[in-house]
Structure 1
């Protein structure tokens, strides 16, 4: 029984085993660092300044996670030795007592079919409970719980970075069709149709036919909501926004030379370096999510809808902004000269701040990555919890036998 419960220290471990573990960890770390360095050199050679800064922020996040891991490792024993009354320890649990009893019964059933020589890879499952159980209390957070939290933070960071990269990749893929629209601006047909000396009614232009039909705010929001679900950026919207941007920032003769698509692509990269960073507010939202994972709150039903509602509101608002710019064209007059000229402005956004819109997108990306990471972690931890129950039950059986 003593051999089953005792953990070997480094003094009792073969030096070759310690050397092998250290060698593997160092090799993996150096390999990852080298890959990140090569990616940085490649982005620098491609003059992707924003993506290079995003890579540096990813490295900063990895350093922060390493520091958190170090703190969890150093303070693990001290935290697990903090004891609280059982009445407090049984409050705000993620699962009901009935579910925990069912899990223990399931572990007992599995024990009958397990290998007699079965042993768990670590004894974190029972390490933090012995000290407090002698005093009739429970650990504030057991060593096994800290071990699980350690893994969850790593999984969360991994999913967040991968999710942001996937979003950037899908965004650039969606922008590929804009190449064709950008080439059209160099054609003779496009220049003739948008002749600066040509007069037309605003309602007869393609942009006017799409956005000047709905004037009621309620109707405008309803139509904009459904537009984002299909083709959010149409050819006429792209060309009109391009024309308005060039007229506001460049000379009129830049219409055939300025590449608006490349400008949007660079802007997307600038935004990527913002959303890939986990700000303190975003970390605080993660803490609130963990707090809401309490039995009886049913957060798994309503919490996933919060990012969905936010992203639908953001998409609808962006569509409304385009339509409002179209309505301002007709307010200046029924007749337009050349292409419809829209005038973007910060006042069209919520609180007059486009950065707030970017923050909402950042929040949605993190929440989606958080919930995916939480699902993956909880699935693995559930199986890990069964192994823990098997170990505890086996120790109890051995104690009775001895």
Structure 2
């Protein structure tokens, strides 16, 4: 194997030029983040400022991991393991290398194999870099989609200040709960039976997941619980702040997310056929969370129907409670969304990394079906 040229034999102007570009790019990124932090402070967006700091800290962790790999690259390659271990759990079969570096050659002389070659360590550094990029982009995209969704709600919020809305929700009016728009939407033949309610709420998340009537009812329940009738509280501003605070929870990483990354790489071995089931785990969890949220709204309507004796004043008054959630913990859903976000980021990063380093038709995704599944999930 041809020996790579070291810095001893590299022109100093070439080294200085590369370092200059790296420094300029780093300063540019750091300046952008600094301006963004100043903007959040100026607008008093404390939750977004904390989320930005969390993203920066996670990028620092990933950068430190990459630095550790650079420093320990040679030491890792010196670790020798039995050949039988080295030939187990391979992501690709029938592939062998004839090029060995110095450390691998020493293990070969002992009848063993290197734990991780220096080339493999460098490839792993690429994966860490791609993961940092995709995780940051997915966090920004998630928040942007949330804000875009709430822009639709701004027109609904403006409608609550119209005379037509105030007349239709006059607290002096008595109505049957089944005659209200909220009751007509949720009090169906399937709502009283759990086995029928699950498929109905499962399908409902795919179209009009947050309807206008649901927004109005949940808004009314929140205002009545905290402020009382006739309050001018800006509910739209409140949910924007709530989104920012929740965003601070779902960004970043946790021990559970890193455990998923380890398991994902472990089950990437050829014999597990992970492309047939592993990419579907985030999708399955997302569907379960969406179904649960739809079910919670329906159950609140059912509970109100059971306690109102069919007749209500004004709008339907729902009472949010922790007992609607799994294990009485609303934060559990938020942590599941956090894990889903990281899983999607990691899988897209892994696909991009294998595509760049090994080609589109590598052993990681030989068939077109493999590629489609990776991208769609």
Q: Give the distance between the partners of 2:359 and 2:159, measured in 1 at CA.
A: 57
* Residues 324-366 of structure 1, C-alpha deviations (whole Å, 9 max, x = no match): 1001111111100111100001111001101110111111111
The correspondence for 1:357, drawn from 333, 349, 353, is 333
Greater CA radius of gyration, 1 or 2?
A: 1
The correspondence for 2:9, drawn from 12, 15, 32, is 12
**Partner in structure 1 of residue 207 of structure 2:** 230
Provide the secondary structure at the position in 1 that maps to 2:270. Answer: coil
The correspondence for 1:23, drawn from 2, 10, 20, is 20
Which of the pair is proportionally richer in helix?
1
**Partner in structure 2 of residue 259 of structure 1:** 234
The correspondence for 1:79, drawn from 76, 101, 107, is 76
**Partner in structure 1 of residue 135 of structure 2:** 160
* Aligned CA distance change for structure 1 residues 361 and 127 (closer, same or farther; 3 Å): farther
**Partner in structure 2 of residue 96 of structure 1:** 93
Deviation at 1:5, TM superposition (A): 2.4
Name the Cα RMSD after superposition. 1.9
The aligned runs of 1:211-250 (5 Å cut-off) are: 211-213=186-188, 214-250=191-227
**Partner in structure 2 of residue 396 of structure 1:** none
Does the Cα contact within 8 Å between 1:307 and 1:364 map onto a contact in 2?
yes
Q: Give the distance between the partners of 1:202 and 1:9, measured in 2 at CA.
A: 79
Q: Give the distance between the partners of 2:119 and 2:361, measured in 1 at CA.
A: 10
Does the Cα contact within 8 Å between 2:322 and 2:330 map onto a contact in 1?
yes
* Aligned CA distance change for structure 1 residues 385 and 223 (closer, same or farther; 3 Å): closer
Does the Cα contact within 8 Å between 2:256 and 2:339 map onto a contact in 1?
no
**Partner in structure 2 of residue 391 of structure 1:** none
**Partner in structure 2 of residue 271 of structure 1:** 246
Give the TM-score of the pair, scaled to structure 1: 0.86
The correspondence for 1:330, drawn from 305, 313, 320, is 305
The aligned runs of 1:311-350 (5 Å cut-off) are: 311-332=286-307, 333-350=309-326
The correspondence for 2:66, drawn from 62, 65, 69, is 69
Structure 2 residue 273 is the aligned partner of structure 1 residue 287? no
Q: Give the distance between the partners of 1:87 and 1:226, measured in 2 at CA.
A: 49
The correspondence for 1:129, drawn from 101, 104, 115, is 104
The aligned runs of 1:154-193 (5 Å cut-off) are: 154-193=129-168
Q: Give the distance between the partners of 2:226 and 2:124, measured in 1 at CA.
A: 50
Provide the secondary structure at the position in 1 that maps to 2:271. Answer: coil
Provide the secondary structure at the position in 2 that maps to 1:163. Answer: helix
Structure 2 portions without partners, runs of 5+:
363-377
Q: Give the distance between the partners of 1:143 and 1:245, measured in 2 at CA.
A: 58
Does the Cα contact within 8 Å between 1:127 and 1:144 map onto a contact in 2?
no
Structure 1 portions without partners, runs of 5+:
108-122, 387-402
* Residues 120-162 of structure 1, C-alpha deviations (whole Å, 9 max, x = no match): xxx9x74542222222221100001110111101111211111
**Partner in structure 1 of residue 368 of structure 2:** none
* Aligned CA distance change for structure 1 residues 300 and 384 (closer, same or farther; 3 Å): closer
